[in-house]
Structure 1
Amino acid sequence: MNGMTSGMNAEEILACLVAFPSVVGQPNGAIVDWIRTYAEGCGASVTVLPGPEGDRANLFATIGPAEVPGLILSGHMDVVPAGEPCWSSDPFVLRREGKRLRGRGASDMKGFLACALAALPALAAKPLARPVHFAFSYDEEAGCQGVPHLIAALPGLCARPEGCIVGEPSGLVAVRGHKGKAAARIAVRGRAGHSSRPDLGLNAIHAASAVLAAAVQRAEALARGPFDTRFEPPYSSLQVGRIGGGEALNIIPESCVLEVEARAIAGVDPESLLLPLREAPAALVALGFRTDWTPLSAYPALALSAEAPLACLMRELTGHEPVAAVSYGTEAGLYQAAGIDAIICGPGDIARAHKADEYIETDELAACLRLIEALGERMAA
């Protein structure tokens, strides 16, 4: 933080943010402290909100009168791991390549955070009639684990906001809807033994195949509808994303673990899609197996009306008609579920996320900065 000034531009701030390896599920105190110091230096009122994990925190900052309804600029500070072997440089050192700025999180979504922070001095210099809030969360990449704690704290931090702009990469075209998601871990435990005596053991992998079959059947049923053509695919979906078990080929496997997720179209409770899988292990208990069901994450779908004031505002600010829906999920559904209108709009492209040599372009940062400053003009009116 030595030499840090409120006059840093978006690229310089992005370089600082990328340098923090704020990988999902890991402590994030360093990046939180940096952002807090920077934002306070720009005149923002900042609150750090530790999560129940004890080593991670959300951050909430305000410019303007907090007792008046305002708008939230929302983003997550965590990134996915950078273990891909084909990075052309250190993923946690921002590298410029022409107009491209490469680094883990450059597009998803530290580019938006950098623009929001770069806009802070200009916002602080305006006589804002309504506040602009900055809500930066942790562990979004683990299924939006951190932001529910931040949302729960909002009544003690500010007047109920008029809306929330979630800056996930969308090419700076606003998005009004996305699917909801629920995920869970299913563990099956049997009894180990020598593979030559399967009659003396309980094969957990064999038993888990019943759960796997139920998942496949459920996925096939969901593909038959109901349909919502705003999404790709236009139906709710389900998949087993991970499965593991066993110690060695000649040992009867004592345990098998499956991780499953469901993605729901608007109007469908994503957790309800997993119910057949929760019921599937029941028959295994009668055979002597033990089963455990552990919810991993859940967030609702987003469905903002095209005529909502927030959608109209983003139409005016971006010059584009908001997209009806995307299939990936964000924290926006949780804000809407809490009674705060939410919409997605941020720089970069989601197709660049979660892969080696992730990047954002300097022109995209500049355009996002202009959008936030234009928003500030509206809040000062």
Structure 2
Amino acid sequence: MKAFEILEQLVAFPSVVGQANGAIVEWVRAYVARFNLEVTILQGPEGDRSNLFATIGPKNVPGYVLSGHMDVVPANEPEWSSDPFELRAQADHLYGRGTSDMKGFLAAALAALPELASRQLSQPIHFAFSYDEEAGCRGVPHLIKRLPELCAKPEGAIIGEPSNMRAIRAHKGKAAARVEIRGRSGHSSRPDQGLNAIHAMAEVLADAAAGAGRLALGPFDPAFDPPYSSLQVGTIKGGQAVNIIPDLCSAEFEARAIAGVCPSALLTPIREKAESLRSRGLQVNWELMSEYPALSLAKDAPLAQLLKDLTGQELLAAVSYGTEAGLYQEAGIDAIICGPGDISRAHRPDEFILVDELIACQSMIETLGARLSR
């Protein structure tokens, strides 16, 4: 099957983040199994979604991981020009949810599989397809934990997030948390008899805004844009009516950290401020929703040189969005980002990828196979 034909199949699965993904996993498993390759389905703790791992070549020697996620963000925007889960071709544009982020990479890898399987590889190429990346890389840690029983420690991991087929050496880390404050309800005419949860949360929000301002003062890493760590309040919910003292308020906070800074540590002052409210009789619950580390691959790393050779392009130093790459690096595996499509097309209506981008990615993977052949 050609890459765009595989992409058509993959896009048709509405594998939205946080939902069961058995259908797309089974399709990929069956496709890979046609080439007499061993496929391992790694069920996550949620019970209804899984990672998938397959190896081409000898699994007992170090090789390379091709890493991608099978989940996509929802496609509820009314601006879509066609069904987001039905691939639409228009000239060289292929429209559909996940085409760039990142089923295009999966399709290119699977389209390269016949060529890879026909070779006698001296080093293996692994497919590592994960779930719930869009929820803060929740699926891939379970896969990485199982790698020692699946294969020899890989020499490197190529994370196929959309990068216009230009390899990227670094990205920021991220942590997200939810704070819930519970007070006491009552009639708004007697504020002395209640505990206003929104008022209490306002103090936490003010501390968060001040913290964001301080982060803009440094430390700096000029490779990133912006060149500093950041912090924001993403959502806030609370209250029932204007004449009722709100007894519940929740807010979600996000931190993005430059390399060398722990993302969750940036949220610690917010947690401390929120938990200090307990002294006033308020109930406070803190939930760390997700966290992944930054990526920082040295410019002279062998994996960096390999991707320069494979793509024929100079590497980009860094991007501000995050990927699963930092988790591979944290596990002691060099990682780099390189995939078809453009991140600016992701998470928006009429997401698309170009046919030439799919072909270029497939070619890169097949060239990697040629380099690893006996």
The two structures have a TM-score, normalised by structure 1, of 0.97
CA distance in 2, matches of 1:247, 1:13: 48
2:367 counterpart of 1:374: yes
Q: 1:244 aligns with which of 237, 242, 254?
A: 237
Q: 1:224 aligns with which of 217, 242, 253?
A: 217
SS in 1 for 2:54: strand
SS in 2 for 1:313: helix
CA distance in 2, matches of 1:156, 1:138: 20
2:34 maps to: 41
CA distance in 1, matches of 2:84, 2:110: 22
CA distance in 1, matches of 2:35, 2:101: 24
2:181 maps to: 188
Which deviates more, 278-287 or 352-361? 278-287
1:51 maps to: 44
**Superposed displacement of residue 251, structure 1:** 1.3
1:352 maps to: 345
Q: Deviation per CA, 1:164-197: give whole Å up to 9, x if none.
A: 0000000000000000001100010001111121
2:169 counterpart of 1:176: yes
CA distance in 1, matches of 2:148, 2:121: 21
2:153 maps to: 160
Q: 2:320 aligns with which of 321, 327, 335?
A: 327
2:296 counterpart of 1:303: yes
2:1 counterpart of 1:11: no
Q: Deviation per CA, 1:33-55: give whole Å up to 9, x if none.
A: 00000011123210000000000
The two structures have a TM-score, normalised by structure 2, of 0.99
Unaligned runs of at least 5 residues, structure 2: none
1:210 maps to: 203
2:58 counterpart of 1:65: yes
Q: 2:124 aligns with which of 107, 118, 131?
A: 131
**Superposed displacement of residue 379, structure 1:** 1.1
CA distance in 2, matches of 1:349, 1:12: 20
Q: Deviation per CA, 1:188-208: give whole Å up to 9, x if none.
A: 000111112111111100000
For residue 258 of structure 2, what is the amino acid of its counterpart? I
SS in 2 for 1:286: helix
CA distance in 1, matches of 2:162, 2:108: 12
**Superposed displacement of residue 21, structure 1:** 0.3
For residue 158 of structure 1, what is the amino acid of its counterpart? C
For residue 170 of structure 1, what is the amino acid of its counterpart? S
Unaligned runs of at least 5 residues, structure 1: 1-7
2:24 counterpart of 1:21: no
1:279 maps to: 272
CA distance in 1, matches of 2:323, 2:91: 30
2:101 counterpart of 1:98: no
Two-structure CA RMSD over aligned residues (Å):
0.6
CA distance in 2, matches of 1:178, 1:188: 33
For residue 93 of structure 1, what is the amino acid of its counterpart? E
CA distance in 1, matches of 2:326, 2:258: 12
SS in 2 for 1:209: helix
CA distance in 2, matches of 1:67, 1:283: 52
The answer (yes or no) to whether the contact 1:204–1:256 under 8 Å persists in 2 is: yes
Q: 1:199 aligns with which of 175, 192, 199?
A: 192
CA distance in 1, matches of 2:331, 2:299: 19
For residue 182 of structure 1, what is the amino acid of its counterpart? A
Q: Deviation per CA, 1:76-117: give whole Å up to 9, x if none.
A: 000000011100000000000110000000000000000000
The answer (yes or no) to whether the contact 1:43–1:63 under 8 Å persists in 2 is: no
CA distance in 1, matches of 2:13, 2:187: 48
Taking only the aligned residue pairs, the percentage that are identical comes to 66
SS in 1 for 2:315: coil
CA distance in 2, matches of 1:249, 1:89: 41
Q: 2:330 aligns with which of 332, 337, 344?
A: 337
For residue 61 of structure 1, what is the amino acid of its counterpart? A
1:289 maps to: 282
1:31 maps to: 24
**Superposed displacement of residue 282, structure 1:** 2.8
CA distance in 2, matches of 1:159, 1:114: 25
SS in 1 for 2:280: coil
